[in-house]
Amino acid sequence: MATVKTTIARQYKDLDLNFLPHPIKKDVVKTVDEMSVINSVKNLILTNHYERPFRPELGSNIRRMLFENVDTVMAAQIEREIEETILNFEPRVQVSKVVAVAAPDENKYNVELTFFVINSPDPITINFFLERIR
């Protein structure tokens, strides 16, 4: 007798962090699949250690690094920190490439993060800036 093994595609769901109401339902809008994972990765990168109650190890120390000199050495450390944070805390993501480019004249880093969501063949690329606020 032959057995058939099937896999169920998993759908990821999360709340939209803007908390905008749905125009018809008047309920909070939810994000699904890739957009949910993208929001999770962004929040994880921008969360400091000890910022979440009962989970002090969650997050990265990216904000601390932004107060150092903007150069290629610090850009390499930021790349490593982002990669380690995602590896440790986001099991739905497989990081493909992290590139942080220092922009010393503007006092910021341009970051390009490419990753794959587990069970999805398409790569996702996020471009964002890291700059200190104060």
Percent helix, strand, coil in the chain, to 5, is 25, 30, 45
Other residues' Cβ atoms within 10 Å of the Cβ of residue 102: 19
Query: What residues form DSSP beta bridges with 49?
Result: none
pLDDT tens for the chain, 134 residues long, are 667 665 656 777 777 777 778 888 888 878 777 888 999 999 999 999 999 889 999 999 898 899 999 999 999 999 999 999 999 999 999 999 999 999 999 999 999 999 999 888 899 999 999 998 76
What are the C-alpha distances in Å from 21 to residues 30, 34, 39, 73?
Answer: 10, 21, 18, 43
